[in-house]
A = this chain, B = another copy of it.
């Protein structure tokens, strides 16, 4: 089953303590779509400017990412530039130029409107709602969000929450949203606001998943070297969405658990190189191998 993904498509300039690269493919939808494509066909929704490389459209086509929903507008593509501190954890945004993204108000192609699985990657909640409203009978809806929307668009976000089967956010965002320091309490508070499941990402410390009287906790895949953390959260969301969509029906909690691990695995590959470079050559076999390793290093038995 294919998954519809809407979000930003950007050209990024990223600086780490070791390297700097300009004009790299970025944006929440680019990362999420490629992350999902290892599991399911993708219908991509976004906007690019006339400076956007045609080669990316060819790449998407080669990965079964349908770009019929990607608008080509006159002007420049959304540009973001950021710099990571020495610990590779704290990031400073150096510049943002919305460009063609400023007036992005997508109208879905008719072939997209019957989508069952939807991932609203990280963009303004009003845009997420605008896209969701155009889908006839969405069966499973995931949204990712960020601190900016919690701070500036809380009303739209609160409207969106009850329509979600899964909300994904990180630990500091969950704390900010609920003013709870305990992530367990924060997860339950967000659940009470409407989404059927909540995934809280904790970076190098893994992730937590809350469901209706169900709970799952996993570590992160241990990495010695991180080259570019950009897009880790987006590829996590994409990997989860792609895996869940590939299962067919409404997923059970065991499928959710596996989706969390697949999301973590795809994200762990993503940060091994700049931009989407690692994911461009990644294979499903490599993903499955790391999934097995992940399992081997986090399982323990009950012995009476």
Chain A residues within CB distance 8 Å of chain B: 86-88, 181-185, 188, 202, 204-206, 208, 215-220, 222-226, 254, 257-258, 260-261, 291-292, 295, 297-303
Contacts and interface: CB of A to CB of B under 8 A. Distances in A.
Chain copies in complex: 2
A280 B191 CA distance: 35
A297 to B, nearest CB: 5
A198 to B, nearest CB: 13
Nearest to A222: B184
A298 B216 contact: yes
B217 A219 contact: yes
Contact of A219 (B185, B206, B224, B297): B206
A276 B69 CA distance: 61
A297 B205 CA distance: 16
A302 B297 contact: no
B215 A297 contact: yes
A298 B258 CA distance: 11
Given A208-B222, A292-B302, 12 more contacts: A86-B181, A182-B224, A182-B225, A182-B226, A185-B224, A206-B219, A216-B298, A216-B300, A258-B303, A291-B302, A295-B300, A299-B299
A108 B223 CA distance: 44
Contacts of A298: 216-218, 298
A169 to B, nearest CB: 17
Contacts of A87: 181
A183 B87 CA distance: 12
A80 B181 CA distance: 27
24 contacts: A182-B224, A182-B225, A182-B226, A183-B204, A183-B222, A184-B222, A188-B224, A202-B205, A205-B205, A206-B217, A206-B219, A208-B219, A216-B297, A216-B300, A217-B220, A217-B297, A217-B298, A254-B301, A257-B299, A258-B301, A260-B300, A291-B302, A292-B302, A295-B302
Contacts of A206: 205-206, 217, 219
Contacts of A202: 205
Give the one of A88, A218, A223 with max B CB within 10 A.
Answer: A218
Closest A-B pairs by Cβ, 7 of them: A217-B219, A205-B205, A257-B300, A184-B222, A87-B181, A215-B297, A184-B224
